[in-house]
């Protein structure tokens, strides 16, 4: 079954993608003489946006999965005294 992307994952990834593309574009545009590097600035902006998308997307997905796993562990009931095993201690010779 395929799930739809959560808004809590989509919004940060899209904002980071736009910010990464904008930073790449502006840094390239500022480093060139006025009006000379627009195609290069657009290309580098696109590459920066893709890199930001991949990096931020990976981190956000891993964080959301980790949080889901933590919540799952928190929802498990504690083992009863009868269900716990005694600690055998360190091995002896």
Residue 76: the pLDDT is 81
Regions of the chain short of the pLDDT cut 70: 1, 79-85
Three-class DSSP labels, the chain: CCCCCCHHHHHHHHHHHHHHHHHHHHHHHHHCCCCCCHHHHHHHHHHHHHHHHHHHHHHHHHHHHHHHHHHHHHHCCCCCCCCCCCCCCCCCC
């Amino acid at each position: 079954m395929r799930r739809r992307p959560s808004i809590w994952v989509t919004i940060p990834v899209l904002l980071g993608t736009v910010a990464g593309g904008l930073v790449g574009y502006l840094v390239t545009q500022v480093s060139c003489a006025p009006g000379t590097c627009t195609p290069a600035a657009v290309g580098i902006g696109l590459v920066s946006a893709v890199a930001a998308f991949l990096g931020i997307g990976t981190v956000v997905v891993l964080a959301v999965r980790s949080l889901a796993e933590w919540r799952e562990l928190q929802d498990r009931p504690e083992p009863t005294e009868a269900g716990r095993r005694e600690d055998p201690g360190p091995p002896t010779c």
